[in-house]
C-alpha cells in the first residue's frame, strides 16, 4: 500500500498580504498540474484554496491576511518520480512568491516531508512532546506480549532501539543511560547485593556483573522483552540473558511488587536498588494518574529493602518537564522514612534530549 507523503512550504511576509493577489499569482502553478481548484474566502480571515489531482494527490494553499502563506501538499507515492514532481511544484511556488514579493519575504521554510502510513514508522515523540524523525531502516522485531507492544527497530545512527508501547526505551548506543542509572561510575559494586527492578533489556545487569557483585537479582515481568533483547540487543546485554541464573545473578520473571513485599517481610536487604521500570509520569495530577500511585508504592517498598547506608537509583524524565520532576521530588518527602537525594543530567543519544537521573538514600539519624 502506498504511503502518504506530506510536504510543506511556509512563507512569512514582511507586511500584510493582499490575499487575492497572492491567490491569482499562484493559481497558474497548480492549474498547470491539471489540478481542480476550490476556493474559500472568509472576510478578514483570508483564503483557502484546495487543488486536487485525478490520482488523489492534493494541495492546500492557505493565505492569512497578516502575512503568513502556507502550502501543504499530500501525495500517495514515494517513488523517485513522485518525489521529483512534488519538489518541482514546490520550487515553482517558491520562485513565484519570490518574484511577487522580491525582498519582502522575511522567512521561507520548507521542512522535510513526513511519510505517513509507511511500513516503517520513523516518527516518535520526545518526552516533552516534540516530534523526532529517526533514521529507522528496518523493523527487527514487533510482537505483543500480555503486558505491552514490543518493537525493536534498527537505526543507522543508534543501532537497534527497544520501543515499548510507543515509548523509546533504550538503544544500543545508550550506554550513557546505563552508566547514569548505576551511579555514573562512582560506586563500588564489589561484593554487594543489588536489586534491579525491570531492566528487561539486560543492559544494567550486563554492566553490573562485570563489577564482581556478590549477587544481583533482576525482577522483570515480561519474558518477551527478555526474549527479544537477548536475540536483537546483544550489543547492550551481551550473553547475560541467555540464562536466567549465573554465578552472581538471577533473573526472576515476576511482578516486582509481590517480590518487594516478600523481601520486606523476610527482612532481606540490598546495598543498591535500581529502578528501571518507568520514567516519572508526565502528568502533574498524582490523584488522577495511577502511575504516580505505582511509583510511590515502588519507592516505599524499595526503601524497606534498602540498607541504611544503601542507595536507590532511578531515572527521572526529560529536563524540560520541570513540573513533573518537581512533583516527583515532593513525593520523596512523603515516604515512610526520611530520604535525601541528588540528581544528574545526562545526554542519552537516542532520546535526543537531556535526561534526569536520581540517587536517593535514607537520611542518617543523628545519634
pLDDT digits (tens, 9 = 90+) for 244-259: 999 999 999 999 999 9
Last residue of a domain, one of 68, 83, 116: 116
128 within some domain:
no
127 within some domain:
no
240 within some domain:
yes
Give the pLDDT band (50/70/90) at residue 78: low
Q: Please give the average per-residue pLDDT across 157-163, as a whole number.
A: 97
Give the pLDDT band (50/70/90) at residue 55: confident
pLDDT tens string 289-319? 677 888 889 999 999 999 999 999 999 999 9
Q: Please give the average per-residue pLDDT across 76-88, as a whole number.
A: 78
**Whether 63 and 206 share a structural domain:** no
Q: Which of 129-133, 206-210, 273-277 has the lowest mean pLDDT?
A: 129-133
pLDDT tens string 23-51? 999 999 999 999 999 999 998 899 999 99
% of the chain residues with pLDDT over 70: 96
125 within some domain:
no
**Whether 112 and 178 share a structural domain:** no
Q: Please give the average per-residue pLDDT across 209-214, as a whole number.
A: 97
pLDDT of 77 higher than 60: yes
One of 174, 201, 271, 276 is an active-site residue; which one?
276
**HEC readout, 187-247:** CCCCCCEEEEEECCCCHHHHHHHCCCCCEEEEECCCHHHHHHHHHHCHHHHCCCCCCCECC
pLDDT of residue 44: 86
**Whether 180 and 312 share a structural domain:** yes
151 within some domain:
no
Q: Is 276 a catalytic residue?
A: yes
**Whether 51 and 178 share a structural domain:** no
pLDDT of residue 285: 62
**Whether 212 and 108 share a structural domain:** no
pLDDT of residue 367: 52
Domain containing 261 equals 173-362
Q: What is the mean pLDDT of the chain?
A: 93
pLDDT of residue 93: 96
Last residue of a domain, one of 51, 85, 116: 116
179 within some domain:
yes
**Whether 333 and 202 share a structural domain:** yes
pLDDT tens string 318-342? 999 999 999 999 989 989 899 999 9
Q: 10-19, 202-211, 327-336: which has the highest mean pLDDT?
A: 202-211
Give the pLDDT band (50/70/90) at residue 82: confident
130 within some domain:
no
Residue identified by cell 519538489 is 87
**Whether 313 and 182 share a structural domain:** yes
pLDDT of 282 higher than 80: no
pLDDT of residue 79: 67
**Whether 303 and 202 share a structural domain:** yes
pLDDT of residue 107: 95
Counting the structural domains of the chain, the total is: 2
| Residue 14: CATH number of its domain | 3.30.160.110
**Whether 210 and 352 share a structural domain:** yes
**Whether 194 and 308 share a structural domain:** yes
pLDDT of residue 1: 53
245 within some domain:
yes
pLDDT of residue 102: 84
| Residue 327: CATH number of its domain | 3.40.50.150
Q: Please give the average per-residue pLDDT across 72-90, as a whole number.
A: 83
pLDDT of residue 117: 87
**Whether 108 and 208 share a structural domain:** no
pLDDT of 366 higher than 70: no
**Whether 84 and 187 share a structural domain:** no
Last residue of a domain, one of 74, 96, 116: 116
pLDDT of 288 higher than 60: no
Amino acid at each position: 500500500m502506498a504511503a502518504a507523503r506530506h510536504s510543506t512550504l511556509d512563507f512569512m511576509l514582511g507586511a500584510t498580504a493582499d490575499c487575492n493577489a497572492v491567490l491569482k499569482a499562484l493559481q497558474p502553478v497548480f492549474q498547470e498540474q491539471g489540478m481542480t481548484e476550490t476556493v474559500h474566502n472568509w472576510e478578514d480571515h483570508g483564503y483557502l484554496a484546495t487543488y486536487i489531482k485525478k490520482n488523489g494527490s492534493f494541495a492546500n494553499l492557505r493565505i492569512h491576511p497578516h502575512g503568513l502563506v502556507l502550502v501543504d501538499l499530500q501525495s500517495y507515492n514515494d517513488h523517485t518520480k513522485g518525489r521529483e514532481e512534488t519538489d518541482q511544484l514546490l520550487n515553482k511556488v517558491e520562485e513565484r512568491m519570490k518574484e511577487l514579493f522580491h525582498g519582502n519575504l522575511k522567512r521561507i521554510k520548507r521542512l522535510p516531508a513526513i511519510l505517513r502510513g509507511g511500513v516503517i514508522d520513523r516518527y516518535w515523540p520526545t518526552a516533552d512532546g516534540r516530534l523526532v524523525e529517526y533514521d529507522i531502516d528496518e523493523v527487527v522485531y514487533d510482537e505483543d506480549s500480555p503486558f505491552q507492544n514490543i518493537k525493536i527497530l534498527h537505526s543507522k545512527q543508534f543501532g537497534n532501539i527497544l520501543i515499548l508501547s510507543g515509548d523509546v526505551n533504550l538503544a544500543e548506543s545508550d550506554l550513557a543511560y546505563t552508566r547514569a542509572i548505576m551511579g555514573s561510575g562512582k560506586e563500588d559494586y564489589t561484593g554487594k547485593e543489588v536489586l534491579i527492578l525491570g531492566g528487561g533489556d539486560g543492559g544494567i545487569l550486563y554492566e553490573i556483573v562485570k563489577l564482581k557483585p556478590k549477587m544481583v537479582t533482576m525482577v522483570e515481568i515480561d519474558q518477551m522483552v527478555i526474549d527479544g533483547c537477548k536475540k536483537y540487543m546483544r550489543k547492550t546485554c551481551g550473553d547475560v540473558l541467555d540464562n536466567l541464573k549465573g554465578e552472581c545473578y538471577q533473573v526472576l520473571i515476576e511482578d516486582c511488587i509481590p517480590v518487594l513485599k516478600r523481601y520486606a517481610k523476610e527482612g532481606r536487604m540490598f546495598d543498591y536498588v535500581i529502578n528501571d521500570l518507568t520514567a516519572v509520569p508526565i502528568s502533574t495530577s498524582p490523584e488522577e494518574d495511577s502511575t504516580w500511585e505505582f511509583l510511590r508504592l515502588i519507592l516505599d517498598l524499595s526503601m524497606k529493602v534498602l540498607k541504611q547506608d544503601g542507595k536507590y537509583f532511578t531515572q527521572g524524565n526529560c529536563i524540560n518537564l520541570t513540573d513533573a520532576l518537581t512533583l516527583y521530588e515532593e513525593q520523596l518527602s512523603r515516604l515512610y522514612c526520611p530520604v535525601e537525594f541528588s540528581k544528574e543530567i545526562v545526554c542519552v543519544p537516542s532520546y535526543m534530549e537531556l535526561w534526569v537521573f536520581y540517587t536517593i538514600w535514607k537520611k542518617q539519624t543523628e545519634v
